[in-house]
Amino acid sequence: MTAPTRVAELVAERARRLGPIPFDEVVELALYHPEHGFYSSGGAAGRTGDFLTSPEVGPLFGAVLANALDDWWRELGEPDPYVVVEAGAGAGTLARHVLDAGPQCLRALRYVLVERSERLRDAQHSHLPMEPARQVLGPAVVTDPDEGPHPQTGIGPLVTSLPDLPQRPFVGAVVANELLDNLPFDLVERTELGWAEVRVDDEIREVLVPAAHDLALHAERLAPDASPGERIPLQRQATAWVRSAFAVVDRGHIAVVDYASTTSEMAQRPWTEWVRTYRAHGPGAAPLDDLGEQDITCEVAVDQLPAPDRNRSQTEFLTAHRLAAHLAEAKRAWTERAHIGDLEALKHRNRLSEGQAISDPAGLGAFRVLEWKVEG
């Protein structure tokens, strides 16, 4: 038998004191405990990390997102400043790719990376030229002797990093790639006697307890047709996160990218299919094994979020924002330089395989891009 992890010990100690503890608290400790949580102690996306996300495949995803940011900027009437918040920004790979792509909105751009893990926020500083948040988020004003104070324009891109969404509402966009699946969630199971909550005891085993009235009502509303034995996630933190994004966007766009389905569809599948664990680029162990040493994620139930204005596949999103133009350019440049076989040639060839990976209908291309427009 292997020794329990530090997080397993913490969960056990808490369950001994308080009784079986809710699933979302277990996930919270496993992923985000300040010392022993997966994201505090070394877990991350990336080729050298634990799982590969679209930005970590290469720069192409960020280059197409840069086109989307330009499209949304134009729709808004080209505001300056144009604030783009990237939530769950990890070590800053996507931010770097967006900035390197040189979008048209660059001079107006205030790029804010929001990342909960202090370790990953520190890592961002080695890739990106960071400025103090209060200067990036304004109010950046110059005082004109004739016209009085007004926002300083044309000084972008300015980049900063925060542990939470900014407080002050802005005009711009909030984007998040694979954030919502990483937010702690509860688990409930339909039984012959009604809804039960899955909790975790002091031996790190599941126990079913009768669900509190509000939880049972919520579950019943989401999955009225669930049969005994079927489980669903209750993703209240994901819902709250989207609402908090609404609260900070005065006018603009919210877009989240994730693997997603619906609560009733998830009820019909084994729960271990939609709660997935990752570690060192492969599937991890069972969700309650190795707590703190593997990622725990949950497919996003779209019906638990505010209804999006748009819900399309990642491939459709990338196509709408001119993926094909990037691929045509890469193909042209690769064909021209293939006989030289230098680094520049390889860069273009890599772009072509990145294009396949991020639009693969059996993989990342099947992710959903959920978009909300905030009209102000």
Mark the segment that binds ligand SAM (CB under 6 A) among 5-13, 71-79, 86-94, 263-271: 86-94
Helix (H, G, I), strand (E, B) or coil at 23: helix
Site track 94-133 with ligand SAM (rule: CB under 6 A), x = hit: --------------------xxxx--x-------------
* 5 near ligand SAM, rule: CB under 6 A: no
* 161 near ligand SAM, rule: CB under 6 A: no
Least distance between ligand SAM and beta carbon 61 (Å): 9
CA neighbours closer than 13 Å in the CB half-sphere of residue 325: 7
> 188 CB contacts (<8 Å, ≥6 apart)?
195, 196, 197, 198, 211, 215, 216, 219, 231, 232, 234
Least distance between ligand SAM and beta carbon 159 (Å): 16
SS3 content of the chain, % helix, strand, coil (to 5): 40, 25, 35
* 179 near ligand SAM, rule: CB under 6 A: yes
Least distance between ligand SAM and beta carbon 247 (Å): 14
* 294 near ligand SAM, rule: CB under 6 A: no
* 56 near ligand SAM, rule: CB under 6 A: yes
* Nearest position to ligand SAM, beta carbon: 88
Mark the segment that binds ligand SAM (CB under 6 A) among 73-81, 84-92, 194-202, 228-236: 84-92
Pick from 246, 269, 236: nearest CA to 28: 236
* 354 near ligand SAM, rule: CB under 6 A: no
**Cβ-count burial of 41 within 10 angstroms (0-12 exposed, 13-18 middle, 19+ buried)?**
middle
* 85 near ligand SAM, rule: CB under 6 A: no
> 135 CB contacts (<8 Å, ≥6 apart)?
158, 160
Q: How many other C-beta atoms lie within 10 A of the C-beta of residue 123?
A: 17
In the bound state with ligand SAM, the residue whose beta carbon lies nearer, of 90 and 172, is 90
Pick from 97, 15, 96, 14: nearest CA to 60: 97
Tokens standing for residue 42: 């070394």
Distance CA 110, CA 108 (A): 7
- Residues 28-47 touching ligand SAM, rule: CB under 6 A, are 39, 45
Element (H, E) at 260: strand 260-261
* 242 near ligand SAM, rule: CB under 6 A: no
Site track 330-349 with ligand SAM (rule: CB under 6 A), x = hit: --------------------
Count residues near ligand SAM (CB under 6 A).
19
Least distance between ligand SAM and beta carbon 307 (Å): 22
CA 153 to chain centre: 30
Positions touching ligand SAM (CB under 6 A) are 39, 45, 53, 55-56, 87-90, 114-117, 120, 177-179, 182-183
